[in-house]
Chain A
Amino acid sequence: MQRDWTDIFGGLALALIGAGAAGWASLHYDLGSLRQMGPGAFPVGLGLLLAVIGLIVAVPALRRAGEAVPVEPWSALAVLASILVFGFGLRSLGLVIAAYLGVLVASLPAPRRGVTWRLMLAGVVTLLTVLVFRTGLQMSLPLWPVWI
């Protein structure tokens, strides 16, 4: 049977997060009393509330047909990889190389073939980045790899 899987998984995931947060908070933080609420009281309340709402989302979805969701795994992967390449490369490789590589990785899933436009786009964006953030905003970032 076709079920509304997005709401089932989404609701259950939220319910688990809520129950987990409530459990963790009740074990590690002081609940206090109503008059003098401790640091644990509010998170425990919220966690339990989220667990209940998650179930309210998930349970009715069991008996209902849902629509398929268009997932773009490659877009997500390329975008996240681009951020991580840039983030970890920023201090070791320097702004220029990190930005150039970051743009190249990000442009991989774009709906247009060809290498030239990607290389050129990376060049233009890198130049803009250096102009805006190094020259304009004067952020202290290494331009080139530290070993040069």
Chain B
Amino acid sequence: MGTWEGLVTGLNFALQPGVLIFCLLGVLLGTFVGVLPGIGAMAAISLLLPITYYISAEAALIMLAGVYYGAQYGGAVASILMRLPGTPQSAVTALDGYPMARDGRAGAALFAAMVSSFAGSIIGIVVLVLLAGWLSRVAVAFGAADYAAMMVLGLVAASTIGSARPAKGFAMIVLGMLLGCIGTDVNSGAMRFTFGQTELLDGVNLVALAMGLFGVAEVIGNVRDPERQAVTEKIGFRQMAPTRDDLRRMVFPSLRGSGLGSFFGALPGTGSTLSSFLSYAMERRIARRPERFGHGAIEGVAGPEAANNSAAITAFVPTLTLGIPGDPIMALMLGALVIHGVQPGPMMLEARPEMFWGLVASFGIGNLLLLILNLPLIGVWVALLRIPFRWLYPAILIFICLGVYSVRGLTYDIVAVAGIGLAGYLLALARFNPALLLLGFVLGPLIETNLRRALLISRGDPMVFLERPISAAFVVAIAGLLLLSLVQWVRRRRRAIPAR
């Protein structure tokens, strides 16, 4: 199927009222949770997972994706107006967006964030289409060894790149992979770590794990947060209108940010947080007057916002064409697809064109909806920022319980959510990243299956990973990343010793 033909199929699919409504629902809900500090896209997507049982796999994916990129828009609103980033990516936006708002230029900052987010998304969509087509042709040649090596590379990249403490990241990934072993082993039928509990035969419930780690744990951590001050400034269309100078300053940072974001988003394990940081650093480095950054430079809003939105879209490349989630949110998306019995892979573009092209079309539609809706709705989001968390979190807890109960109708799962929530809270306190645990949980079983298959084919010869050129390249990359973080660790120690 050609690109144009595919796009037409996708648009036809995504514009059906029964699908469009889920796209709209997703982006609105995403903006909502992005605006609200205290719950993020992970929590919102986990909360919605049970609801996806009631709709088709395609509509589910479109809705969950809408939550993801919608949250980026909402996160920008909260960071600019209150310096309270709702998502980690938008923390960068607060650096210059909040000073702009304090200078009475909140409207211009919001305009810059939204327009560059839109531009980033459109560029991301183009890159997604080109890369996905190419990658799914290449990936047909991938064997079990290549898949296993690539997934390990993704996990290593996720825990080392941009992390101050890679060892703690690795620990979470391995713990997640161990949790992924729980349940019936597909190859032998052996029951692993079930301890006689029949509820665990199918493994740890992904919905319970995600809701516990991201819903319950985040609620516990935020219950006693002090009340937030309301925004006083009124923001209407007049305040949103950018000056000619603003517009001129926005264009190239948005384009550069989109390029960075599209590239890093598609790589496994890096994702949108890294690309928005990189975009900010780059804009500051090439600016003629870098001292303006941090004091309300519009470039520092436009670049990172374009970067994180394009990365959010190209992140779907490895998920859809290889069936390998590059970051924890993609791991949840993959989980949602697997719940529906869909296993993404190189054949998906051909086998389920509506899923791939429908999603691509929904990105365009959803971002357009966000752009059109958010400008007039900005007053509503500002009002929402004033809702105290104490009114919200009890409802979130009840919704989590019923959501997880609706999957299998077992009280066991509600109790499990409480236990996982406590564990997640403790992990967050000790600065372990629970998102990496989830990534390991989803990828662990896939790695095990491919590892066992690869070694079976090679008659037990581990050299297979170095003999196949594709997997050898991944192995070299893994070794390089590990070496790099070792070098950084040694350097930091050397610097620390003379300080004593």
Contact = CB atoms under 8 A, between A and B. Distances in A.
Q: State yes or no: do A and B come from one complex.
A: yes
A53 B188 contact: no
Contact of A82 (B192, B225, B397, B430): B397
B390 A110 contact: yes
B414 A87 contact: yes
Given A35-B455, A42-B451, A137 B398 contact: no
Q: Is the interface of B mostly helix, strand, loop or mixed?
A: helix
Interface string A112-130: 1000000001100100110
B288 interface: no
Size bracket of the B interface: 35 or more
Contacts of A36: 456, 460
A87 B451 CA distance: 39
Q: For A17, A37, A46, A82, which residue has the most chain B Cβ atoms within 10 angstroms? A: A46
Contacts of B220: 72, 75-76, 79
A6 to B, nearest CB: 4
Nearest to B54: A137
Interface in A67-124: 69, 71-72, 75-76, 78-80, 82-84, 86-88, 90-91, 99, 102-103, 106-107, 109-112, 121-122
A35 B192 contact: no
Nearest to B393: A106
Nearest to A21: B178
B438 to A, nearest CB: 16
A80 B174 contact: no
Contact of B224 (A24, A72, A83): A72
B358 to A, nearest CB: 24
Interface stretch (B61-69, B293-301, B341-349, B400-408): B400-408
A128 B390 contact: no
Given A14-B175, A34-B460, A75-B224, A87 B398 contact: no
Q: For B168, B394, B427, which residue has the most chain A Cβ atoms within 10 angstroms? A: B394
Given A21-B193, A35-B460, A86-B398, A54 B171 contact: yes
Contact of B394 (A34, A75, A122): A122
A38 interface: yes
Interface in B73-117: none
Interface in B221-238: 221, 223-227
B188 A102 contact: no
B221 A72 contact: yes
A98 to B, nearest CB: 9
Contacts of A43: 178, 181, 192-193
B490 interface: no
Interface in B457-482: 459-462
A30 B188 contact: yes
B390 A112 contact: yes
A82 B167 CA distance: 35
Interface residues of A, number: 65
Contact of B192 (A29, A75, A128): A29
A69 B427 CA distance: 12
B246 interface: no
A95 B224 CA distance: 27
Q: Is the interface of A mostly helix, strand, loop or mixed?
A: helix
B187 interface: yes
Contact of A50 (B178, B185, B224): B178
A27 B427 CA distance: 29
A109 B205 CA distance: 29
B178 A99 contact: no
A53 B430 contact: no
Contacts of B459: 35
B266 interface: no
B415 interface: yes
B464 to A, nearest CB: 11
Contacts of A10: 168, 427, 430, 432
Interface stretch (B16-24, B331-339, B359-367, B418-426): B418-426
Contact of B411 (A79, A88, A111): A88
Contact of A79 (B190, B226, B421): B421
Interface string A5-36: 01101110010011001001100011001111
A103 B223 contact: no
B266 to A, nearest CB: 28
B398 A103 contact: yes
B130 interface: no
Q: For B227, B400, B430, B459, which residue has the most chain A Cβ atoms within 10 angstroms? A: B430
12 contacts: A14-B175, A21-B193, A25-B181, A29-B185, A40-B190, A72-B220, A75-B223, A83-B216, A86-B401, A110-B390, A121-B391, A125-B398
Given A39-B185, A80-B418, A110-B224, 12 more contacts: A6-B431, A7-B168, A10-B430, A11-B171, A14-B171, A39-B190, A43-B181, A53-B174, A57-B167, A76-B422, A83-B216, A103-B397
Interface of B: 51, 54, 165, 167-168, 170-171, 174-175, 177-178, 181, 185, 187-188, 190, 192-193, 216, 219-221, 223-227, 388, 390-391, 393-395, 397-402, 405-406, 411, 414-415, 417-418, 421-422, 425, 427, 429-432, 444, 448, 451-452, 455-456, 459-462
Interface of A: 6-7, 9-11, 14, 17-18, 21, 24-25, 29-30, 33-40, 42-43, 46-47, 49-50, 53-54, 56-57, 69, 71-72, 75-76, 78-80, 82-84, 86-88, 90-91, 99, 102-103, 106-107, 109-112, 121-122, 125, 128-129, 132-133, 137, 139
